[in-house]
Structure 1
Amino acid sequence: MFRKLFILIFLLPLFAYSQDKISYKVYYNKNLEQNGLKVQVDYTLKKVSDTISFYYANANWGENNLFNNLTISKEDNPDLDIETLPANNKIKITMKKGEKLSLIYHIKQDFKDPDYKIFHRPRINTTFFHVLGKNLFIVPRSFTQIPEDREFEFFIEWVDFPPQFKLHNNFVTQLRKMKIKTSLWDGLYSSLFIGGDYRFHSFKVQNKPVYFVLRDQWQNGFTDEFLFSNLKKAVQSQRDFWKDYDQDYFSVTMTPTVSQKDTLFKGYSTTGSAIKNAFMIQGTNNPFNSKNSFLYLMHHELMHEWIGNKIQNKNEELNYWFSEGFTDYYTYKNRLRIKDISIEEWQKLFNNEVIQNYWTNPQRNIPNYKIKDDFWKSRDVEKIPYKRGAIFAFWLDNQIMLRTRNKKSLDDLMRELLQICTERKVKFTDELFLDLAQKYLDKDINYFFQKHIINGEDLDLVTQKWIDGFEIMTINGIPHLGVDTCKDIKYCVE
């Protein structure tokens, strides 16, 4: 009897999860700008009920009042009583008692173009749409209460979209009917859905596809050939560095926030975000497009596939010194490794964009716990973990090379960290990293780490030891990295 009861108890959770699937139909119409994307969601409840609540985030990724993008009308849903509760990220539905629900809603763009400051709100017009999965698909609130790694089945059908209206996302490309099996937060809600007048380029790494999808004609030398050739080089080099070719599907999208041929807006504003199986680039398209800024962004966001995604923070902003700082460091180092930049260009970029940027930041001594509190509130605070972490990575890389007489470097530590996190399925913590650092340095750096990374005290770079060919001096009160190019510098030697 006990054994039967045990088996029953064991099976109950599996049965409860067995119905974690949901269907969506997304409809095309000729006036998407006015009507938005019409979405029909069909869901079978786990038990007979006359109420159900759906989840829709009213704020995410720095955007607020996202319920302004969501329209649910009585006309579309005559048999349902609907209450929207933005403060609770909630849509409450009252219906006739039963097991099945069918609900229609619309997702619309809620701002007027052009607006170069908006990146993560739905963009929908008659030419194209660009919408994050979290801003397009509502889910039952019960989905949000299931363990984060639990997978769901999402059935999505694109209805009446004309053949020339290309469809793409970070799970599949060009399919009108799809079944996506993935988690919620790191899957469907870490995704991008696009459609319209996009151009497609692709290549393969070890027979696995990588897509580059973009729209509009980009200015100042941003030709498809320039963008695509540099993407191929960056993807191949980073997978070679990590010795990791497991990614079966990868996508890079590039969408302008504003396109203008004149110089009315005298600036270049761009952003990139790493998401599931992909990263997306958005930015102003004008005569001020910067090739160097684009290449930095591309290498940085591609590196997040490992530092941030596969090596995943346990404590999010508290670990940004690593996920953003070490990504920043390897953005420059990888570009030097593949000869995308010379040693002189690398030196100049590291001095100006990392060391000087950090030393002139009025918030540079902010302790790590305050970064967690203020990261999304202040641009100065937001930059600190990038630069503090990059300087720490440079210091640690040098110390490992010195300790091992160039037989090992931070590269070896990083690849071992990837192996630990993926094979043991553990998340990144300060303690895990410090244990590895001790292994490679044969000494404990906990006090050093606490003082300079956690507390934010300045590191006296001038008095530290560096590999042959590197020297740090002070110029106008700011540390400056000197490089003796006459020496055989062992910095990027594998």
Structure 2
Amino acid sequence: MIKLLYLLLFIPVYAFSQHKISYKVYYDQNMEKNGLKIRVDYTAKSPSETSLFYYRNENWGEKDLFKSVVLSKEDNSGISFETQPENDEIKVRHPSSRKISFVYRIRQDFKDPDPRIFNRPRVNDRFFHVMGKNLFIVPKSFTEMPDNQEFEFNIEWIGFPKDFKLHNTFASQAGKQKIKTVLWEGFYNSLFVGGDYRIYDFKIHDKPVYFAVRDEWINGFSDDFLVSNLKKAVQSQRDFWKDYDQDYFTVIMSPTASQKDSLFKGYSTTGSAIKNAFMIQGTNNPFNNKNSYLYLLHHELMHEWIGNRIQNKHEELNYWFSEGFTDYYTYKNRLRIKDISYDEWLKSFNEEVIKSHWKNPQRNLVNYKIKDEFWKSRNAEKVPYRRGAIFAFWLDNQILIKSGYKKSLDNLMQELLKICTEKKLKFTDELFLELVQKYLDKDISYFFQKHILNGEDIDLVSEKWIDGFRFQITDGIPKLQADASSEGKYIL
């Protein structure tokens, strides 16, 4: 009886220990030279002399990331390592035990400034900026478990000065963190920063939103401009979705290269939606463009719902939705909150969506090829954005007409969010088409197959549009014409 009781008590603890790992991250005055020192502690399933750990060698366009990892004998007495970058694998040889502990360092492997590098670890004496996937090594067994398996990641930040800000997509200014989340869409879909960042916060429906920024941005990019527009965008999007449940959210903005003169020609910026956050990186120079920042802000924030809460089941094959509909609502929501005027909306949608799509030599790329071509070609990458945005505009108009201006695509999107979250479903073409049929009272599968999957152009001139909208062909490209009276119907 005593043995049975012991086993019953032991099994839950034993099982949970396999899903728990701890890290200690140490401050170093000379991080640029020595890197970020990290000690990992893990209790394995059974004693062994060899353990396999995982580190991603290629991530978001960056290759050979093992160059950022330092595994030294000086830090690890009695332990040896064998790295296999081609397998994203580190073999650790250690004294036989269930408990495994070793030290590694993450350093920057390129010379600053480099405006072309976005996602490699940045580590110097003033700050660090590292994706979770490239900061924390995990047991290889973690990567072999179901995607919905939760783990407990314990992090302790040791020796960092008070003026060295610590901020990430799970907490702000926390010396100790206990993070319970999944691996791929949680812990590894994250960003950790520290150093000379300025951190601002505000609340929406009593839920905190943080903004972390470093460097002195020029050409009107004051902290007040950045924060006030962030607050406006977050408020408007949460109001649109009627969704105020997120307990923590942050935007992190870092320069890839800063120059007060025009050494770096042009303005290059990128944004990426990640767990509880999105990050902005770009050149900081006299070419900083406010409108591009605002577009990026609204686009990436919208991904919190279209892409994160409503998740693609087939990733790139569903980019016509997750990128296209996000892009569509980037323009529509900016118009709705008067961030741009009606004339500005019309000009932007014509120039940046319709005209850019028609001038793209790969605009008729069939959807199944986007999966392979998306990461290889800039033209292929933009196809699902613009094709999806034009389809969203068409569908919005059809729902407005069908409902007598009582409903719009907004209603469908809000219902889609509810279905996906409450029923824990991922987005598929079939789910979407079934919902569209409810709003239009007809099956548009043929239209969808022809224009979204096969990539044929929609005959915009011949389609039906709300009162005040019409298309005409100018130099072989469709152009939306809009009467002033149409604005109220469009953004009802």
TM-score (normalizing by structure 1): 0.96
**What percent identity do the matched residue pairs reach?**
69
**1:35 aligned to 2:34?**
yes
- Corresponding residue for residue 4 of structure 1: none
Shift of residue 78, structure 1, vs aligned partner: 2.1
Which residue identity does 1:71 align to in structure 2? V
2:385 match: 386
Task: Give secondary structure in 1 for the equivalent of 2:490.
Answer: coil
CA contact (8 A) 1:468 1:489 kept: no
Assess if the C-alpha contact under 8 Å between 2:39 and 2:102 holds in 1.
yes
Does residue 158 (structure 1) correspond to residue 176 (structure 2)? The answer is no
Query: In the TM superposition, what is the alpha-carbon distance from 1:45 to its structure 2 partner?
Result: 1.0
- Written as runs of structure 1 = structure 2, the 5 A alignment for 1:307-318 is 307-318=306-317
Q: Distance in 2 between matches of 1:200 and 1:89?
A: 34
| 4+ long deviations beyond 6 Å | 11-14
CA distance in 2, matches of 1:19, 1:125: 34
Question: Is residue 51 from structure 1 mapped to residue 50 from structure 2 by the alignment?
Answer: yes
For the Cα contact (< 8 Å) 1:469–1:489, is it kept in 2?
no
Partner of residue 319, structure 2:
320
Structure 2, unmatched stretches of 5+, are 1-6
Q: Deviations over 1:200-223 (max 9, x none)?
A: 111101111000110111011000
1:105 equivalenced with 2:73 (yes/no) = no
| Aligned residue number for residue 84 of structure 1 | 83
Contact persistence 2:469–2:486 (CA under 8 A): no
Question: Secondary structure, in 3 states, of the residue corresponding to 1:298?
Answer: helix
For 1:254-278, what per-residue CA distance to the aligned partner results, in whole angstroms no more than 9, with x for missing partners? 0000000001112100000000110
Residue 223 of structure 2 is matched in structure 1 by: 224
Find the aligned partners of 1:86 and 1:487 in 2 and give their Cα distance: 57
TM-superposition CA deviations, 1:79-104 (whole Å, max 9, x none): 11210000000000111111111111
CA distance in 1, matches of 2:387, 2:59: 26
1:302 aligns with 2:301: yes
Superposition pairs of residues 7-406 of structure 1, within 5 angstroms: 16-406=15-405
Residue identity opposite 1:195 in structure 2: G
Question: Residue type matched to 2:340 in 1?
Answer: I
* CA-CA distance at 1:51 after TM superposition: 1.1
The aligned residue for residue 468 of structure 2 is 469
Q: 2:167, 2:288 → 1: CA distance?
A: 25
Between stretches 466-475 and 301-310, larger displacement belongs to 466-475
Q: Provide the secondary structure at the position in 2 that maps to 1:186.
A: helix
Q: Does 1:459 align with 2:450?
A: no
Secondary structure of the 2:49 match is strand
Q: What residue is the counterpart of 1:5 in the other structure? A: none
| Corresponding letter in the other structure for 2:36 | L
| Cα distance per residue 1:302-325 (max 9 Å; x no partner) | 000000000000000000000000
- How many angstroms apart in 2 are the aligned matches of 1:335 and 1:145? 42
Return the alpha-carbon distance in structure 1 between the equivalents of residues 29 and 487 of structure 2: 63
Structure 1 residues 472 and 74: CA distance shift in structure 2, 3 A: same
1:488 Cα shift?
Answer: 5.9
For 1:423-462, what aligned pairs fall within 5 Å after superposition?
A: 423-462=422-461
CA drift at 1:489: 3.7
How far apart, CA to CA, are the structure 2 residues paired with 1:52 and 1:452? 51
Q: What is the DSSP-based 3-state SS (H/G/I as helix, E as strand, rest coil) of the residue aligned with 1:121?
A: coil
Match of 2:4 in 1: none
**Contact conserved, 2:17 with 2:43, CA < 8 A, in 1?**
no
Measure, in 2, the Cα distance between the counterparts of 1:308 and 1:74. Answer: 43
Task: Give distance in 2, aligned partners of 1:169 and 1:482.
Answer: 45
**Is the Cα contact below 8 Å between 2:318 and 2:428 reproduced in 1?**
yes
Kept after mapping to 2: 8 A contact 1:367/1:456: yes
TM value normalised by structure 2: 0.97
CA distance in 2, matches of 1:171, 1:114: 28
User: What is the number of equivalent residue pairs in this alignment?
Assistant: 486
The amino acid that maps onto 2:197 is: Y
User: What do you get for the CA RMSD once the two structures are aligned?
Assistant: 1.5
Helix, strand or coil at the partner of 2:185: coil
Aligned to 2:409: 410
Match of 1:3 in 2: none
